Amino acid sequence: MASNPLVVCVGHAALDLIYRVDALPARPTKVPAQSLTMSGGGMAANAACAIVRLGGRARQVGSIGDDLFGGLVIDELRRYGVDVAHLRRAAGASTSVSSIVVEASGERLIVNHRGSALDATPPDVTPALAGAHALLCDPRWPAASRAAFAAARAAGIPSVLDADVADPAILGALVPLAGHVVFSEPGFARWAGHAADAAAAPARLAELVDGGCALAAVTLGERGVVYATARGVTQMPAFAVDAVETLGAGDVFHGAYALALAERASLDDALRFASAAAAQKCRRAGGRAALPDRAAVEACLAGTP
């Protein structure tokens, strides 16, 4: 097992404005918010923060604007202990900002302004992989993710794709490049063209494994995760928790899974670790402030409160 392993995270770094309300409205209207929190966001960046919180090291590779929001994004990643030496600020570009409305049940509505920073041509990502034990990419900066997957394969570094909702063409291009593909349920539907139902999903995941992927999975929230490996297709139940907030749980899952691979865990153990980490994230509200630590995840795995 690598000591304090390094996971390189390529993709989205953003700023989130999180509003908490009693309930999401059924139609457009004015809704009072009980609180407003400003927090860093973005799939890859959230995963990087989760990795550090869980005891690993994380390096963020991405592009943000040279605006006020970009400075806030970098400052918070540094506070979480993420290496930002390869997080560049694109001149004249705007940073991605999201407004997130979270209701009392924990479900959320996200309105994202992507910004223009990720439209820039990516630099050579190979230097960022120096010393890496695993790679995690999201689909938000596809050109950089494609290059990172190729460099990781050449270097023998295990790679993970966070296959969340994206243009089907982008997912179609990235999925075959990753060593491990973990879809969200809506991400799978975008890629496959149909829902992740029990009849169709296992066969599509098995096809990816037959094509050379070490693991292909779909996370199903409280219904667990269905995944295919060379041994076949399996469904792993979720850890039962009283969910307070689901915001960021998928990012935590992917970060924890990549960290477990970096620690050379088995595929089954890596998925259990990721599932436990995501479940613990759902137990608390607060965006990144609610990221679970290693002790909480290990207690969950051991079946203790």
When pLDDT is averaged across residues 179-207 and rounded to a whole number, the result is: 93
Q: What is the pLDDT confidence band of residue 2, given thresholds at 50, 70 and 90? A: low
Q: What is the pLDDT confidence band of residue 1, given thresholds at 50, 70 and 90? A: very low
Residue 11 has pLDDT above 80, yes or no: yes
Q: Whole-model pTM?
A: 0.92
Q: Are residues 281 and 54 in contact, defined by beta-carbon separation less than 8 angstroms? A: no
Helix, strand or coil for residue 254? helix
pLDDT at 269: 97
Note the Cα 104 to chain centre separation in Å.
Answer: 23
Q: Which domains does the chain have, with CATH numbers?
A: 6-302 (3.40.1190.20)
pLDDT digits (tens, 9 = 90+) for 100-122: 898 988 788 989 898 999 998 89
Judged on CB neighbours under 10 Å (0-12, 13-18, 19+), 236 is middle
How far is residue 113's CA from residue 98's CA, in Å, rounded to a whole number? 6
Burial 34-62 (b: 16+ CB within 10 A, else e): eeebebbbbbbbbbbbbbbbbebbbbbbb
Whole-number mean pLDDT of the chain? 94
Q: What 8-state DSSP symbol labels residue 42?
A: -
For the chain, the first-to-last Cα distance in angstroms comes to 27
pLDDT above 90 covers a percentage of the chain that reads: 82
Q: Are residues 10 and 47 in contact, defined by beta-carbon separation less than 8 angstroms? A: no
Q: Are residues 273 and 256 in contact, defined by beta-carbon separation less than 8 angstroms? A: yes
Where do the H-state alpha helices sit in the chain? Answer: 43-53, 68-79, 142-155, 168-174, 185-192, 201-210, 249-262, 267-282, 294-302
How far is residue 57's CA from residue 44's CA, in Å, rounded to a whole number? 14
Q: Are residues 179 and 159 in contact, defined by beta-carbon separation less than 8 angstroms? A: yes
pLDDT digits (tens, 9 = 90+) for 265-291: 999 999 999 999 999 999 988 778 899
pLDDT digits (tens, 9 = 90+) for 23-80: 999 898 999 999 998 989 999 999 999 999 999 999 999 999 999 999 999 999 999 9
pLDDT at 196: 86
